[in-house]
Amino acid sequence: MKQYRVFNTENDVEIHEYNITVDINDNNHEEITLYRSKGETWSDNARGEERIKLVDTGNMIVFPKKMFSGDAGYDDFAELFVIMSFINKTSSMPVYKGRIEEVTNQLFEI
């Protein structure tokens, strides 16, 4: 099993917020799990809590729990961003690479 720590660097202070583990399950598929850190960032009952688990089968990503049905809070969305960013940077087949540009609708009379 491989383990990673995720640090929030937003306010020029690094805060250890999450841990990620990567393991191989019984079906020989990669299992990636995002946990909250056990640090004081979180309340006592939230420390070390499993937030997202997914399985990379080689053909698709499987979420073993129904995590993303209905409404999602901003915290859920941020945690999904963290694990997707991790996969995009560490996978042998990145999810996506590109850029986003704003399209403006400026019209000029001639």
Q: How would you write the pLDDT of the chain (110 residues) with one tens digit per residue?
A: 999 999 999 988 999 999 999 999 999 999 999 999 999 999 999 999 999 999 999 888 998 877 777 788 899 899 999 999 999 888 877 778 889 888 888 887 88
Q: Which pLDDT does position 94 carry in this prediction?
A: 72
Residue 38, pLDDT score? 97
State the Cα–Cα distance between residues 104 and 26, nearest whole angstrom: 51
Strand partners, 95: none
Q: What is the pLDDT, as a whole number, of residue 55?
A: 94
Q: What does the pLDDT read at residue 43?
A: 96
CA distance 34 to 24: 15
Is residue 1 exposed (0-12), middle (13-18) or buried (19+ Cβ within 10 Å)?
exposed
The reported pLDDT for the residue numbered 91 is 81
Burial tier of 74 (Cβ tally within 10 Å: 0-12, 13-18, 19+): exposed
Cβ neighbour number for residue 71 with a 10 Å cutoff: 6
Q: How many CB atoms lie within 10 A of CB 95?
A: 11
Summarised one tens digit per residue, pLDDT across range 31-54 is 999 999 999 999 999 999 999 999
Tokens 């560490």 correspond to 90
What does the pLDDT read at residue 95? 77
For residues 52 and 33, the answer to whether their CB atoms sit within 8 Å is yes
**Extents of the domains making up the chain:** 2-90
pLDDT at 71: 83
